[in-house]
């Protein structure tokens, strides 16, 4: 079981006189749990998610983000004792991802010329390679010669990586079925021309393929119609139920929480988590609004 532990996280925009956005965030998400992170616009929810993933636009000024791993987190792969706790802030974004952190984007990039299949298979193989390197310090020799001339922007490098093309196609098809996604997506360019809903489905699909320990989903529910919301919710529940992924779901709305029932609900205000509770907190918030939280918090203070 993996645990993502955020302690007293302070961060600002990484530029001269950059605005301070996070002012001491504390959060803990374990594998298999679903957390909802709610809060008004500008409270720091999205920033928190980007900093977990390692976005270069923010600078952490205080606090830490730790990832604790346990024996069974990477299936049969044995995790050395000295590689069980990681300070994410010292790792590159791709290294964080390799250790099981996933960020579902609010606005996923549209990338022309790179097919879904190529992208996802490359990502999966890169994850496997990088993870081994991090855990066992193996400097994978194959990586250097990866240059290979058999690479193609359409299909990717055919012979490269742990997971071959055929095996990957099978895996992809399986996951797409689960999400009720059309197979035609496989040969399309990454998010290019996708509708808002399709992009969000694709984020969940990517999580299903990469099997993260902790998935941070930034407003995965925005811009979804009710059918798509149900598909996406089904996908998120499957991540938890079938892969044991811990979910940190950032949302403005109570709506998705009817389909993806959170074990814990947190409310952010002004760069801090100010209130936590169980699923009933979300309903209460829906009734009373953020002003209620604000009053309660600041009066108590």
Partner 1 sequence: MSAQLPANLSAETVREISDARDEPEWLLETRLEALEALDELELPDVIQTPGRRWTNLEALDFESLVDPLNQADETTRESPEGVVVLPFTEALSEYGDLIEERFGSVVDPQSNYLTALSAALFTTGTFIYVPEGVDAEDVKIRAEMNSRSLFSHTLVVTEKSSSVTILEAVESGDSVDDARYFSNLVEIDAGENSYVQYGSLQNLDEETYTYSLKRADADTYSTVNWIEGNLGSRLTRSDVETELNGEASETKIVGAFFGHDDQHLDVNARVWHKAENTTADLVTRGVLDDEARSVYEGVQDVGRDAWSTNSYQRENTLMLSDQSEADASPKLIINNHDTEASHAASVGQVDAEDLFYMVSRSIPEEQARNMLVEGFFVPVLEEIAVDEFRDDLEELIAARLR
If one asks whether residue 89 binds partner 1 (CB under 8 A), the answer comes out as no
Q: How far is the CB of 194 from partner 1 (least distance, A)?
A: 13
If one asks whether residue 90 binds partner 1 (CB under 8 A), the answer comes out as no
Cβ atoms of 230 and 248 within 8 Å: the answer is no
Beta carbon nearer to partner 1, 127 or 240: 127
Contacting residue, 123, 165, 171, 279, with partner 1 by CB under 8 A: 123
Q: Could you give the C-alpha distances from 68 to 38, 99, 278, in angstroms and in order?
A: 24, 10, 23
Strand partners, 102: 215
Contacting residue, 14, 77, 83, 154, with partner 1 by CB under 8 A: 154
If one asks whether residue 152 binds partner 1 (CB under 8 A), the answer comes out as yes
Beta carbon nearer to partner 1, 91 or 268: 91
If one asks whether residue 47 binds partner 1 (CB under 8 A), the answer comes out as no
Contacting residue, 76, 81, 82, 112, with partner 1 by CB under 8 A: 112
If one asks whether residue 70 binds partner 1 (CB under 8 A), the answer comes out as no
If one asks whether residue 6 binds partner 1 (CB under 8 A), the answer comes out as no
If one asks whether residue 218 binds partner 1 (CB under 8 A), the answer comes out as no
Site residue total, partner 1 (CB under 8 A): 38
62 φ/ψ angles, rounded to the nearest 5 degrees = -165, 160
Beta carbon nearer to partner 1, 3 or 58: 58
Beta carbon nearer to partner 1, 151 or 169: 151
Beta carbon nearer to partner 1, 151 or 254: 151
If one asks whether residue 137 binds partner 1 (CB under 8 A), the answer comes out as no
Strand partners, 263: none
Binding site residues, partner 1, CB under 8 A: 53-56, 92-94, 96-98, 102-103, 105, 108-109, 111-114, 118-120, 122-124, 126-127, 130, 146-147, 149, 151-154, 189, 206, 210
């Amino acid at each position: 079981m993996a645990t993502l532990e955020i302690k007293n996280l302070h961060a600002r925009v990484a530029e001269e006189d950059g605005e301070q956005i996070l002012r001491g965030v504390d959060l803990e998400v374990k594998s298999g749990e679903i957390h909802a992170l709610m809060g008004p616009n500008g409270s720091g929810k999205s920033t928190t998610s980007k900093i977990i993933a390692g976005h270069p636009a923010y600078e952490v000024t205080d606090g830490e983000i730790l990832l604790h791993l346990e024996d069974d987190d990477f299936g049969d792969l044995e995790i050395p004792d000295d590689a069980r706790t990681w300070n994410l802030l010292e790792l590159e974004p791709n290294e964080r991802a390799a250790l099981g952190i996933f960020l579902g984007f609010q606005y996923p990039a549209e990338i022309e010329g790179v097919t879904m299949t190529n992208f996802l298979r490359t990502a999966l193989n890169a994850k496997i390679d990088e993870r081994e390197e991090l855990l066992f310090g193996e400097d994978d020799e194959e990586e250097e010669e990866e240059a290979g001339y058999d690479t193609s922007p359409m299909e990717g490098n055919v012979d490269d990586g742990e997971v071959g093309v055929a095996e990957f196609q099978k895996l992809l098809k399986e996951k797409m079925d689960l999400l009720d996604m059309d197979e035609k997506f496989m040969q399309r360019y990454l998010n290019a021309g996708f509708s808002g809903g399709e992009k969000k489905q694709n984020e969940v699909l990517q999580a299903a393929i990469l099997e993260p320990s902790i998935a941070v989903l930034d407003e995965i529910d925005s811009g979804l119609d009710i059918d798509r919301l149900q598909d996406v919710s089904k996908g998120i529940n499957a991540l938890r139920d079938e892969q044991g992924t811990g979910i940190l779901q950032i949302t403005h709305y109570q709506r998705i929480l009817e389909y993806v029932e959170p074990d814990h609900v947190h409310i952010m205000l002004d760069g801090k988590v100010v209130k936590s509770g169980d699923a009933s907190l979300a309903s209460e918030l829906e009734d009373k609004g953020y002003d209620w939280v604000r009053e309660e918090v600041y009066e108590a203070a």
